[in-house]
Structure 1
């Protein structure tokens, strides 16, 4: 009998290994299809079967999956990588496998189209305008009023996203985005958006069920790099209900509701305002597993292969995490204390991404994180204390790059 396989299109630093491990626990043989497998170090470390293919070429992917079917029983096809998730949905349609509606995913991944659909449905969102050149950016910012956020219409991980607090910052970031330095995944289109002020939250959804709401914080502006989070968020019943209701309104507006969805909010003076809807899991679903005992990755794969999922809570704890963010650019001389931190009772995981003797260049997006620490306990105060103790044990040294004068 042919071995059951799970096809994974591309991967991610955080969730990629989790999908591989979950597939193996479900007795599936994971096979990753990637245009550049070398970018995922965990593939080589785990000895995972990899096929090199242009993952933006649907016909090439169909050809490879057809070839693999001669050897394996392909139980399902999916992806943890948002840019190719719609393509994974198209493959599922072609091979008559369970999967998301690719048209819904594509509409959602276009932030301007997403905004339009949410606005039409009466979902609370920030004021926004579309711009394709510097004049339109300036005009949109004037209409909305500074400060504004500039972000590429297509993209993720805060890549190319910046808060512009004055005209100089607006001109600077517009020049960066349109001047050839930013790598666009589609034609250059910029979303100019009102800066919604207030605490940050996100909902973790599977199907049409809100699993829980997480509180999060960004590092210092003008960038939007996640610094820490708490799951479940300390909310009143009314606050939780309002965000859950708006989340379900987003699903209806965007024709989502199959598989995972991750929705970001700001709690503003007018209540919950939707910042972004992502048709995927949050980058780091471990807090949900630690706090509630629900493995969202495993349950997603069960859905993908046509099995029945189980979203019942197994426990009720509080999980918290903090990202290790550098305060300067330069060469990472050393990073120490992660093993001591990991050994502390209540510390669930310490992941280190940065390697000594490599360059640290802050880009103002998800790539800035050098690692993450996750803690869990039965109550919020204890979890926070454990996390702080663990983070305090970790230290590093970064030697700044030499200035032009020092090089001469």
Structure 2
């Protein structure tokens, strides 16, 4: 009999290997189809089969047809990277080959943030005030209608790419110029979402099907940009607050037609209660799947793959712990000179993982989005206070140094950064 294969469209620098390993544990042969497989180092390191192919529907379909002569393709899923529309392609491939998968129309309406806002608002889901703009004049008038400060973001995209808090007219004009004058890599004609800056603690909800699996808290670094700094599961909420967030999340799924597969809902708790910032029709990225497993005992990557191949999921929590991650975010450009204390931090009892994504002597050029994160530390324990203490102890041990570059491009004196910072319980 032919080997049962799981096709993974593109890869992911933090969760790609987890998908590969989960597929192998389930007795599947993972195959990655990517425009540039060399971007994902784990493929070569783990000798994972990978095929270079353009990730448009027709090209992927032809590769899938060819692979069916050798393998029994039992499921297709993937990673969007910076292009959320790739999930639409994945959904269409699943439908074309009669495999379990989401509704392409539902995924498509989620990938456009303006369309998503419209569906949520029409269903009575609280969202920030918003406008769609295509040029500088429309941006300026939209911001005037909403009132400063506002968030300016591309209507399509992920990872906080191109997202900025604009607190005054000068910042608004500067970021508008960045988005419209050829510096931002649009995939189609520019569409800018201008939205109210909703103030309050940030929460994220992981769901599969119509089940709320986990509710976590997160915090961000370096306003006016939004780069993740910390994340914690479960979020420090009262039972009533948790129930309101869970109910609101299910309302989002209903409004957008997301009854199949994973979703990630982001919201802030404002003066008027929880307000939905964004719904992503996919599993959350970064360390969230790992944190969910540590906190609840549910391996959402494993269960997503089971759903993708038509098997029954088990979404029941097996324990209740607190897990948290702190992320390494450089505060300057330059050359990563050295990393110190990572091994000592990893040996602290309760530390689950210390990981750097880049090696010393690597250039650091900040993008003001999630690509700026160069690593993380994860801790877990049965209690929130203990997890916070473990994470802080590990953070105090980790330092790295960056050699800034002068305007002429020459290296200047090394500056060292340590990871000590408030823990995720202070998200807001």
Q: With the length of structure 2 as denominator, give the TM-score of the two structures.
A: 0.93
1:71 maps to which residue?
Answer: 70
Give the structure 2 partner of residue 363 of structure 1: 367
Answering whether residue 280 of structure 2 is matched by residue 278 of structure 1, we say yes
Taking the TM superposition and a 5 Å limit, the aligned residue runs for 1:88-103 are 88-103=90-105
1:312 and 2:311 correspond: no
Tell whether 2:305 aligns with 1:301. Answer: yes
Partner residue in 2 for 1:31: 31
Indicate the residue corresponding to 2:421 in structure 1: none
Does the 8 Å contact 1:15/1:80 carry over to 2?
A: no
What is the aligned counterpart of 1:330 among 331, 334, 337?
A: 334
| Residue 377 of structure 1 pairs with residue 376 of structure 2 | no
Instruction: Give deviations 1:123-172, integer Å, cap 9, x for gaps.
Output: 00000000000000000000001100000000000000000001110011
Q: Please state how far the C-alpha of 1:406 moved relative to its aligned partner.
A: 6.7
Gaps of 5+ in 1: none
Report deviation, 1:40: 1.1
CA shift digits 1:227-257 (9 cap, x unpaired) = 0011001100110011111101100110002
Separation of aligned partners in 2, 1:355 and 1:222: 28
The superposition leaves residues 316-350 of structure 1 with CA deviations (integer Å, 9 ceiling, x where unpaired) of: 10001100111111111111211221121101111
Q: CA deviation at 1:209?
A: 0.4
Q: TM-score, normalised by structure 1?
A: 0.98
Quote the Cα distance in structure 2 between the aligned partners of 1:201 and 1:406: 42
Which deviates the most, 347-356 or 265-274?
Answer: 347-356
- 2:12, 2:116 → 1: CA distance? 23
For 1:169, what is the secondary structure of its paired residue?
Answer: helix
Does the Cα contact within 8 Å between 1:5 and 1:72 map onto a contact in 2? yes
Distance in 2 (alpha carbons) for counterparts of 1:181 and 1:66: 38
Instruction: Verify the 8 A CA contact 1:80 1:281 in the aligned structure 2.
Output: no
User: Contact 1:123–1:246 (CA<8 Å) still a contact in 2?
Assistant: yes
Could you say if the C-alpha distance between residues 367 and 405 of structure 1 is closer, same or farther in structure 2, counting changes exceeding 3 Å?
closer
Checking the alignment, whether the CA contact within 8 Å between 2:85 and 2:108 is kept in structure 1 is no
Residue 295 of structure 2: aligned partner: 291
Give the corresponding residue for 2:163: 161
Shift of 1:392: 1.2
Offset of residue 4 of structure 1: 0.5
- Segments of 5+ residues of structure 2 without an aligned counterpart are 412-428
1:375 is displaced (CA, Å) by 0.3
Q: Which secondary structure state, in structure 1, belongs to the residue aligned with residue 310 of structure 2?
A: coil
Task: Pick from 157, 182, 190 the counterpart of residue 192 of structure 2.
Answer: 190
Partners of 2:321 and 2:79 in 1: CA distance: 26
Q: CA deviation at 1:182?
A: 0.5
Q: Give, in whole Å, the separation in 1 of the partners of 2:392 and 2:194.
A: 37
**1:288 positional shift:** 0.6
Q: Is the 8 A contact 2:263 2:282 kept in 1?
A: yes
SS in 2 for 1:235: coil
2:49 is aligned with 1:45: no
Q: Which residue pairs with 1:122 in the alignment?
A: 124
> Shift of the alpha carbon at 1:405?
9.5
Q: Secondary structure at the match of 1:388?
A: helix
Q: Does 1:402 align with 2:406?
A: yes
How many residues are matched? 406
Q: How many Å separate the matches in 2 of 1:6 and 1:349?
A: 27
Aligned counterparts of 2:165 and 2:106: Cα–Cα separation in 1: 28
Contact 1:127 1:144 in 2 (8 A): yes
Q: Find the partner of 2:262 among 238, 260, 263.
A: 260
* Aligned equivalents of 2:109, 2:70: Cα separation in 1: 35
What's the CA shift for 1:351? 1.6
The secondary structure found in structure 2 opposite 1:307 is coil
8 Å contact from structure 1 (residues 11, 40) kept in 2 = yes
Does residue 381 of structure 2 align to residue 342 of structure 1?
no
Residue 209 and residue 44 in structure 1: after superposition, are their counterparts in 2 closer, same or farther (change >3 A)? same
